[in-house]
Structure 1
Amino acid sequence: MSSLPLSISESIAALRRGGVIAYPTEAVWGLGCDPFDEGAVLRLLAIKQREVAKGLILVAARRAQFDGLLDWSGLPPDRVAAADASWPGPNTWIVPATSRVPRWITGEHTGVAVRVSDHPLVIALCEHFGAPLVSTSANLAGEPPAFSREALDPRLLAQVDGVAEGETGGLSAPTAIRDALTGSVLRL
């Protein structure tokens, strides 16, 4: 494995090969892979030491990248409007998932956590990949998230396929997570 900096094209090539990369997000460094590649997702979960039952966040460059994955019809119109008004930006919403979202993404939940990012590198990765990516904090389960490249755990770096070049967006806390059905805040 390598912790050498990856360009956008090298990051995309790694993702297409079923790789797991570390990359900066709005607040913390994240781990990402192709959400539809079960082997890649299970490897990411093993690297992070996270249970599949907890589910994972999907991040996209634009809302249309979630077409066919989210059941917006299961939400009141004002909740859909609230999610749309918060994007792009550091706001994650749990939205009812369609049957196209694999169980290794939703875990034990019926919804899926999704975010339309405003981070330039995340946008570029999702646009060049042509689909949403998994986005989970780049830390071992139970340990604090890495707010800088230097804070990434060497044990984690030894297992990923590379680290995308870039910096976090500078937020002081991980992105907020809200339930789109109720509007309740699950993480602030």
Structure 2
Amino acid sequence: MSVMYTHRIMGAFDLRRLKQHLRRGGVIAYACEACFGLGCLPNNQRGLRQIMTIKQRPQSKGLIVIGDSLNRLQPLLKPLTPSQTELVNQAWPAAKTFIIPCSDKVSALLRGNGRDKLAVRVPAHNDARLLSKLVASPLVSTSCNRSGKRFCTNTREVKRQFGRQVIVVDGRIGRNKQPSQIFDLLSGRRLR
């Protein structure tokens, strides 16, 4: 990975500052397949509450988590069978989210109240995967918009809608016109 490529992704913010922001419970906005996503560290309660507050989203709804690989996401999940591992690894990277049984340690804010599964994805967006790799963590990935409003597709829209509530990581969204498809891993049923 080249330094120039990393700098383009990080824009005006250096990686050390971004990691500190995330560790303190800060929220970032970054480009994904179809729109900008709002993200935080998935194990940071303050960050999760911040996302719910700025999106005006009910805390009972779960959030999607992305990573640069299944290995990055695995600590949040219950162990997968070899066939399940093969299935998701063959499907990813893609705009395909799987609902998978999660670890008991995963916050209810992340998985949704009363749920024992987590929505996870290795995105088909190089910059989003690189961002996860650079911060060495999975990232929450929910559409960058207030609940019920149009999602943001560029940095100007993010700044207009959220101002200084988030740090914007420069980037361009992918070519997808729709949000990721969602499948239940155990049943194989498409949910979205």
Please state which band the TM-score falls in when normalised by the shorter chain. Answer: 0.7 to 0.9
Q: Which has the higher strand share?
A: 1
Q: Which has the higher helix share?
A: 2
Query: Map of 1:22-171 to 2, 5 A cutoff?
Result: 22-73=29-80, 77=83, 79-108=84-113, 109-152=115-158, 154-160=160-166, 162-171=167-176
Unaligned runs of 5+ in 2: 1-10
Cα distance between partner residues in 1 of 2:187 and 2:14: 37
Cα distance between partner residues in 2 of 1:93 and 1:6: 33
Unaligned runs of 5+ in 1: none
Question: CA offsets per residue over residues 113-154 of structure 1, 9 Å max, x none?
Answer: 000123222122111211101100000011122233343372
Is 1:61–1:118's contact at 8 Å kept on the other side of the alignment?
no
Percent identity, please.
Answer: 33
- Give 2:5's aligned residue: none
TM-score when normalising by structure 2: 0.85
Query: How many aligned positions are there?
Result: 180
TM-score when normalising by structure 1: 0.86
Question: CA offsets per residue over residues 63-92 of structure 1, 9 Å max, x none?
Answer: 10122321244x793x54432211012111
Is 1:139–1:153's contact at 8 Å kept on the other side of the alignment?
no
The Cα shift of 1:177 comes to 1.0
